[in-house]
Structure 1
Amino acid sequence: MDQPTASTSASTSVYVRRVGIAVGIVLAVLFVLGLLGTAFSVFLRLLAALLIALPLRAGAAWVHRRTRLPEGLALLLVALLVVGALGGMGYLFSTRLSEQLSGLQQELPQAVRDVQARVGGTRWGQWLAGENLDYRRLMGGSSEWLGRATGVFSTTLSVLADGYVILFLAVFLAVQPKLYRSGLVLLVPQSHRARAHEVLDKISDTLVKWVVGRLVSMAVVGVLTVVGLGLLGMPMAAVLGLFAGLVTFIPNIGPVVSMVPALLLAFLNGGPHMALYVLLLYLGTQTLESAAVSPVVQQRLIALPPALVLVGQLVIGAFTGLLGLTLATPIIAMAVVLVKMLYVQDVLGDDAVQV
């Protein structure tokens, strides 16, 4: 009787040990994935800081070559010019923009009510009304809205904190780039440090060109939107055009977001026909930017396969959110540079491939 009991106890012990090992492996994998997620989140903020610091350094280098000013003074001059340009634009348009923003704030609620009234006059709108849908219940009660408001407030604080960190990182990187580059290159074997500097130079050049390309696309979209809305007689054309240009920096989502306030105002001021014209204007502007402006600019600056960019945006955006989606293209550009230089050229020995 003792032998079966001992055998059962041993089998149970082995089973428990195996379960413990399996649980330990799962926890270790989850821990590693969490570390990788945190590291990639930090990397995204570092990349955002680099996208600010590197163009400033490039501008300072250009001023240094042209004027022979010390690099530090040239950087200060470029930074002051950028801040001054932004401040000057804000001062010149502050009065008009504030008036238009005030009008936009007042007219948007009316536009929403007008859309609801027009929808209620249609057959499907009357059908929805006949269904006695409790919109308050669908949208959530007061506690639900309070939770959403709290979430928006915490998200805003998180964005402001990220912006603060990114801005200060950009300042440090712009002021002392050689310090951080030297520390990074020290991690590479001494025989490969010259190549490491070449790779870092190419990555820096690629990121600067990407920023320049995005600024050109944003400017084109903003100007075309302002001109088009002005020709259509739409109010607040400057605000809507500025908003359309700014959100163009965010791929895929930005153009859709920029349409919403313009369509509501068009519906309010001119009815469905005006809304249709505004929709066609936005679609035409974004199509022109996506099919003509952006490819030409990017081809002259950095050559990336469009399908690769789209897949990268979908994958990175799905795992990292809006910031990852916004920075997906420069991440892909960096990856392409690394693969071509470190694998194709150095490992495969194919020096004919251009980077």
Structure 2
Amino acid sequence: MNKQDNPDLGTSPSRILNPELRFEAQRAFVWSSVIGLILLAIYISQSLLVLFGAMVFAAMIDGGARLIGRILPIGRPWRVLLILILTIGFFYWLATYAGTQISQEAAQLPSIVERQVTRALAWAQSQGFAIDPADIQGLATNLLSGVGTLTRALGGIFGGLTTLLLITIIGIYLAMEPKLYERGVAWLIVRNRRDGFYETVSQMAFTMRRLMAGRLIGMVFEGIFTWALLAWYGVPMAALLGILTGLLAFIPNLGALIAGALMVLVGFSGGTEMGLYTIFVYFLVQTFDGYVIIPLIAKKTVDLAPAVVLTGQLIMGILFGILGLFLADPMLAMLKVALERRAARNQAEDDRVLEADSGT
């Protein structure tokens, strides 16, 4: 008897001959692979988030390098180096000329916030609101914890020097030769889908540059004008409040609320008139930034609904802390661009099918 007489001879013991069983085994393998990939993504999620943070940092450097390229006809590595030198120079100036004053103000800020919160809750209790003293103490403790996190953000925004260093180094490499890494990822994709990949990446890069440009200009505007208006009226800790407002402007919606709360609490520590003035400054700066600066700079970027942004920030903040909170908005913008490009390709394919059917 040979293989032609009996097809079972020479068949691998692991081969499933029944077509139905083989189909079910393939389905089980696919689902197991999907679950395995999800578990792997969860396991390395922190590393993936650091990589995305490096991409955001690279987009900011890339935007600055492109802007300098319109003025100075020098190579890309030199433009990136110039951006880094200017950034280091700014932080050196900040640490040299404002570091002492800011550190002193940061040390006083928690006590001022605690005192003002205690006064506000005591006033509410005197008006007949049933507030437990233990609740007052717990709320004050939570606020102090948040304030401590914000003041520590001046020394390490992303929660640790190691994370910040990794984001910086990887971001610099990406900004130096972005096409090199883009081609490397495209090599992993099947050939007939690479054109779509390049188009999507190009749109993502453009959106990220515009988004980060608007965000950085908004941060500078809010920080400088907040400091100038508060210092002009004599509000305590004007420099620290200006820097915190500028940093928190990177976080849409939620950052402005936190900065405004801190500003108003410090303002009322100097009296009712000063507190009302800080409220006026907050609304003036936020209104001008929201209706003039951001639409002027980032009018061509992806539009995200505020509820979607807040939901993404809460989820990313719970999962990854400050790093996730800062990167939630750029990540949502990139996901929306990818989904829009996918929808456009599907629509184009449907149109081609309809044209072919109508032609026949």
Q: TM-score, normalised by structure 2?
A: 0.69
> 1:222–1:245: 8 Å Cα contact kept in structure 2?
yes
Rate the CA distance shift 1:127–1:323 in 2: closer, same or farther, 3 A.
same
Corresponding position of 1:279: 279
> Who is 1:236 aligned against?
237
**Counterpart residue number, 1:102:** 104
Deviation at 1:349, TM superposition (A): 4.7
Aligned residue identity for 1:302: T
The CA distance in 2 between the partners of 1:118 and 1:54, in whole Å, is 43
Matched residue type, 2:297: V
* C-alpha deviation, 1:126, in angstroms: 8.9
- CA drift of 1:264 comes to 3.1
* 1:282-304 CA distance string (max 9 Å, x none): 134223333443234321x3141
The answer on whether the counterparts of 2:223 and 2:245 sit within 8 Å (CA) in structure 1 is: yes
1:266/1:50 Cα in 2 relative to 1: closer, same or farther (>3 Å)? same
**1:66 Cα offset (Å):** 4.8
Q: 1:137 & 1:237 partners in 2: Cα distance?
A: 27
The equivalent of 2:301 in structure 1 is 302
The share of aligned pairs that are identical, in percent, is: 24
Which is worse superposed, 42-51 or 340-349? 340-349
The answer as to whether partners of 2:113 and 2:262 remain within 8 angstroms in 1 is no
Q: What pairs up with 1:1-355 in 2 under 5 angstroms?
A: 33-64=38-69, 66-91=71-96, 93-94=97-98, 98-103=100-105, 105-106=107-108, 109=111, 112-113=114-115, 116=118, 120=122, 122=123, 124-125=125-126, 133=133, 159-270=160-271, 272-299=272-299, 301-304=300-303, 306-307=304-305, 310-315=307-312, 317-318=314-315, 320-321=319-320, 322-345=322-345, 347-349=347-349
Counterpart secondary structure, 2:348? coil
Partner of 2:10: none
More helix by share: 1
Give the aligned residue type for 1:74.
R
Shift of 1:250: 1.5
Name the Cα RMSD after superposition: 4.0
Partner Cα separation in structure 1 for residue 71 and residue 138 of structure 2: 63
1:282-337 superposed Cα distances (whole Å, 9 cap, x missing partner): 134223333443234321x3141x42x53144146325454334323322332333
In the alignment, is the contact (CA less than 8 A) between 2:159 and 2:323 conserved in 1? no
Deviation at 1:249, TM superposition (A): 0.6
Alpha-carbon spacing, 1:158–1:176, altered in 2? closer, same or farther (3 Å): same
Q: Is the 1:100–1:239 contact (alpha carbons within 8 Å) kept by the matching residues of 2?
A: yes
Q: Which runs of 5 or more structure 2 residues have no equivalent in the other structure?
A: 1-30, 352-360
Cα distance in structure 1, aligned partners of 2:80 and 2:133: 61
Q: 5+ residue gaps in structure 1?
A: 1-25
Give CA deviations for 1:121-171 in whole Å, capped at 9, x if unaligned: x47249789x98457996899xxx9xx99xx9xx99953332222122212
Report how many aligned residue pairs link the two structures. Answer: 308
1:185 shift after superposition: 0.7
**C-alpha distance in 1 between matches for 2:73 and 2:33:** 55
Distance 1:223 1:294 in 2: 16
- Whole-angstrom CA distance in 1 between matches of 2:133 and 2:86: 56
Q: d(CA) in 2 for partners of 1:60 and 1:186?
A: 26
The answer on whether the counterparts of 1:72 and 1:175 sit within 8 Å (CA) in structure 2 is: yes
The separation in 2 between residues aligned to 1:342 and 1:28, in whole angstroms, is 23
Higher mean alpha-carbon deviation, 310-319 vs 208-217, is at: 310-319
Quote the offset at 1:102 in angstroms: 1.4
Q: Is the 8 A contact 1:210 1:302 kept in 2?
A: yes
Structure 2 CA distance for partners of 1:295 and 1:328, relative to 1, 3 Å:
farther
Per-residue CA deviation, residues 8-38 of structure 1 (Å, 9 max, x unaligned), is xxxxxxxxxxxxxxxxxx9999866543434
Q: How far 1:225 sits from its partner (Å)?
A: 1.3
Secondary structure in 1 matching 2:189: coil
